[in-house]
Amino acid sequence: ISKNQTANAVTIINYEDIQNRTVSSISDLLRDVPGLAVSRSGVRGSQTQIRIRGSEANHLLVLIDGVEANSPAQSDELNWGTLVAADIERIEVIRGPQSSMYGSDAMSGVINIITKSALKTSMNIFSERGGFATQNNGVSIGYKDKLFNFRIGLSHINTDGDNISRTGTEKDGYENKNINFKSSLKINEKLKTSFSLRRSNGMNEYDSDTNFDGLIEDQDKVAKFDNTIIGLKTDYLSTDRIRQHHLSITQSKNDNQDFNEGFRGTSTSSIKDQVKFISSIFWNEFNHRISVLAEHEKEKFSQLGVINDYGIYGIFDPNQNQNRKTNSIAFEYRADILDDITIAISSRQDYNSEFKDSNTYRFEGIYDFSETVMLRSSYGTAVKNPTFTERFGFYTNFIGNPDLQPEKSTNWEIGYDQKFNNGDFRLSATIFNSELENEIDGNALDPITFGYTAMNKTGLSKRKGLELNSYSKLNKNLTINFSYTYNDSTELNGINEYQDEVRRPRNISSLNLLWKPNDLIILNTNIQYNGSQKDIVYPQNVKLSDFTITNFSVNLNINKKMEGYMRFENIFDENYEEVYGYKSMGFGAYIGIRYKL
């Protein structure tokens, strides 16, 4: 559906935005989206989490070409550190709960990443060099005719990085090799099929805390990853466009291995298989639509590691194989009941092999005051099932809790959107409120062994806030994007008092200035502010200082086939931490070229 037909708060990052920023990591682009908080544990390629509206990182569902990319092998999260920006066409961010359509992992929102398709027969090459001995290269080949098209893209990024820990000189590097393939075939006027594959594998070096003082020390540790997503889809659209059907068969596979001083330690792997069928019918001049979904999902999880004796804590055997299945049905009714009023109702029923059956629902209302002013609101529920790690344990003295119950939330939001001067100025504001029940505390103390475990907390965790976003086209050459988020995210502590949740700054803002002085050059200035926040150094919380990062890029249109660019990151060499004890990247300069054949 179009953006103005939904009550959701939506941000779209298009191909032009990605090109102008010239970043190598998608998470760097998402820092500009209101409602999103990014936490990276050190340098490029390090573990990176994204939280929407103060929720947990595994409350966010990530789709790549419609395939669920969240990894059961990593606590149902996507490690954004492994996701490069190469071959990405468009990013759609939906903030707010979407469990009534997408199920457990979509408790706080959905990010839909769309990779590039072949628009014509072509070949493209890019190459970049820069700070921290970074090399980033790629090539793509595309073919298209009236019925069939395909595109394959290859990219490789490698960097020596910098030292993650506060002391020492040992550098922590990163490497990522990526392949992206996408094709489609038009069988006839009604039927089309498509296939997509994206695979990335590589490694990132990291440090850890060996003396348990809360600060990490230089370590010769390496995490290797191998992630693959595959999707086969068939779409049917009747000649009169009244009936629409979609069938998809998808798989995501993740393998992770850790090495310490060259010796293999622990490893995790997961496979998620999903079959989904959606059928939609339109009527009353396409003003009404009802859609029905049927879905089957099977997840497998395995873990290998060394059996350890922790004395009074007991013997811990991390080796295990687990699986779970979920069958789901859902429906959505969406209608323009009047010229200026749109409503939507959706509901989903999940039948899970491990938990009680769950039902989620959502109501939406949109009122168009005029062609330039829109008021939107929604109310709904969401659910998040416990992860394999929370239920069955980890590598050290972490004890699984198979009796965990799913987290549940109730949510509402109200949004206002307005356009001025024929759309050259746009303003959007959203207030939101969420109450989370059965929040899973992954740092609870087991009363028998005194090891760590996960438990459902009593009481409610509360999240509320405000999102602002504006777009200003001052003239044909100058545009300004601004976003601001106020987020108040609290939970009950051990003495039944509300405290701020960790890694959730109350204030986040972003300013992006794009200037095109002529047809040959594009200048982009990006300023990101991250307010102070709490982090945990067990058993206490610490305060991380606020920081401001300024980035600058220059794009040069050399000729019709060749483009050059320069990017300057953290130009004032700000010293900051997004996760306690993990140093972030300092100033870096990069130069690159793109060539079209």
Residue 214 pLDDT class (50, 70, 90 cuts): confident
Q: What are phi and psi of 16, to 5 degrees?
A: -65, -40
Q: Residue 559 contacts by C-beta under 8 Å, 6 or more apart in sequence?
A: none
| pLDDT above 90 for 467 | yes
DSSP 313: G
What average pLDDT does the chain have?
A: 93
Of the chain, the percentage scoring pLDDT greater than 90 comes to 84
Q: Give the DSSP H/E element, type plus range, for residue 20.
A: helix 15-21
User: How far, in Å, CA of 90 to CA of 114, rounded?
Assistant: 5
Per-residue CA distances from 144 to 120, 427, 560 (Å): 5, 39, 21
pLDDT of residue 166: 87
Rounded CA separation 503/111 (Å): 20
Residue 446 has pLDDT above 70, yes or no: no
pLDDT above 70 (res 487) = yes
- Model pLDDT, residue 592: 97
Measure the CA–CA gap between 587 and 397, rounded to whole angstroms: 39
Check pLDDT > 80 for residue 79: yes
Percent of the chain with pLDDT over 70: 97
CA neighbor of 201 nearest in space, from 232, 179, 171, 231? 179
The alpha carbon of 498 is separated from its chain's Cα centroid by a whole number of angstroms, namely 28
- Residue that has been written with the tokens 């019709």 in this structure: 560
Average pLDDT, integer, range 232-249: 97
For residues 213 and 236, the model is more confident at 236
Q: Is the dihedral of CA 47, 48, 54, 56 positive or negative?
A: negative
pLDDT in tens, 133-164: 999 999 999 999 999 999 999 999 999 999 99
What is the C-alpha to C-alpha distance for residues 411 and 109, in angstroms, rounded to an integer? 12
Confidence band of 449 (pLDDT split at 50, 70, 90): low
Count Cβ neighbours within 10 Å for each residue of 428-457 and write b for 16 or more, e otherwise.
Answer: bbbebbbebbbbbebeeebeeeebbbbbbb
Q: Which two tokens stand for residue 553?
A: 């890029």
In angstroms, rounded to a whole number, what is the distance separating the alpha carbons of residues 187 and 529?
A: 50
CB neighbourhood size of 553 (10 A): 22
Banded model confidence at residue 452, pLDDT cuts 50, 70, 90: confident
Residue with the two structure tokens 């949740």: 501
Long-range contacts of 517-520 (CB under 8 A, 24+ apart): 517/477, 519/557, 520/556, 520/557
- Residue 511 pLDDT greater than 80, yes or no: yes
What is the per-residue pLDDT for 310? 64
Residue 83 predicted with pLDDT over 90? yes
Q: How many residues does the chain have?
A: 597
* Out of 5-9, 12-16, 177-181, 446-450, least confident range: 446-450
| Residue 313 clears pLDDT 70, i.e. is over it | no
What is d(CA 248, CA 232) in angstroms, rounded to the nearest whole number? 6
The pLDDT of residue 196 is 98
pLDDT tens by residue, 376-427: 999 999 999 999 999 997 666 678 899 999 999 999 999 999 999 999 999 9
Q: List the 452-456 sheet strands across, edge first.
A: 398-399, 452-456, 440-445
Q: Among 110, 116, 45, 104, which Cα is nearest to 79's?
A: 45
* 450 pLDDT tier (thresholds 50, 70, 90): low
Average pLDDT estimate for 456-476 = 95
- Is the pLDDT at 278 greater than 70? The verdict is yes
At residue 66, does pLDDT exceed 70? yes
Phi, psi of 243 (to 5 degrees): -110, 135
The residue with tokens 């990490």 is 216
Can you say whether residue 557 is alpha, beta or left, with left for phi > 0 and alpha for psi between -120 and 50 degrees? beta
Sign of the dihedral through C-alpha 64, 253, 58, 537: negative
CA distance 312 to 317: 15
| 524-553 confidence digits (pLDDT tens) | 999 999 999 999 887 678 999 999 999 999
Mean pLDDT of 243-247: 98
For residue 170, the SS3 value is coil
Closest CA to 454 of 503, 388, 504: 388
Asked if residue 210 has pLDDT above 80, the reply is no
pLDDT at 307: 81
Q: DSSP assignment of 82-137, as one string? A: G-B-TTEEEEEEEES--HHHH-GGGSSEEEEEEE---SSSEEEEEEEEETTTEEEE
Pairing of strands 478-492, 507-515: antiparallel
Q: Whose structure tokens read 């068939």?
A: 234
Tell me the C-alpha distance between 414 and 55, whole Å.
Answer: 18
Q: Name the pLDDT band for 311 (thresholds 50, 70, 90).
A: low
| Residues in a beta bridge with 108 | none
Which residues on neighbouring strands pair with residue 112, listed in sequence order? 63, 92
pLDDT tens digits, residue range 333-371? Answer: 999 998 899 999 999 999 999 998 999 999 999 999 999
- The pLDDT of residue 447 is 66
pLDDT exceeds cutoff 90 at 312: no
Which residue, 176, 437, 202, 452, is CA-closest to 314? 452
Question: What residues have CB less than 8 Å from 520, skipping those under 6 apart?
Answer: 556, 557
How many alpha carbons fall within 13 Å on the CB side of residue 339?
3
Rounded distance between C-alpha atoms, residue 21 and residue 577, angstroms: 23
pLDDT score for 20: 93
Q: Where are the alpha helices (DSSP H) in 319-443?
A: 388-392
